[in-house]
Structure 1
């Protein structure tokens, strides 16, 4: 897990190649609940790391800034938005939700903005999951016209070469070091 904007943690346990459709406000909000997690500071010592935010925690974060923003929200209303029972929130609620999750307000109303945010969250997860050098290599290969399949094949070859090299150093693969024909 890694801190994103606003100090929130982003779940990096499952990076999906195919992004799920975000065709409703409920789907977009639920996606944020799935991907953005409380920071260790927010959890303290009493809670399990990596868990999702609760509706109450998000409401409390929004309500904590009510003196500055004038916006309050209930945990029950957030639950209704997540389930699609309520689907036409006030603009101030959209702004508050975007702020608390550290995303652009356009995420909730614009398909292109939602897709960009989704891709950015996926990339952040991938950056943490993989060595940043691999991500840079992928970008260079893509920029040079290689297909996603070719790029994946090269990444697999690099990973296999690393595994062989590590095995050679410890003699784990049964071959003598230097015996690489």
Structure 2
């Protein structure tokens, strides 16, 4: 199973527990001989990669008895299954969409010369970012339609259209 396959699994829904995601990998991944992985085999692979992981702890994670593995453990299991760590941590598609939204937002701020001092873009709700991007696109389109040139970022717009002296 590849990281791309893991991303498309039902086990990757936001509400899926670590145990459910791990269980999905055990059910659907196969070793080089086509056999399903066992906890022992994953522990061995992780240990060969330089991690310290036991079959017993993997079993606890699979059953949900252990619920909060360390990042190092998550990394060990991900590498043993040859999937991305993000499979266990978050929805990568959602993360990529959030990054795209933030990039578009910052680009529109720069293009329109708009400044929102003190705003942490990472804390803005994705829906709000989309609304702001749409608003900034309207401002940019109106300025272009009127033949106005937008000032470089950092300069205030000149509403009179006259050259400052």
The interval holding the TM-score normalised by the smaller chain is: 0.3 to 0.5
Larger Rg: 2
Structure 1-normalised TM-score? 0.44
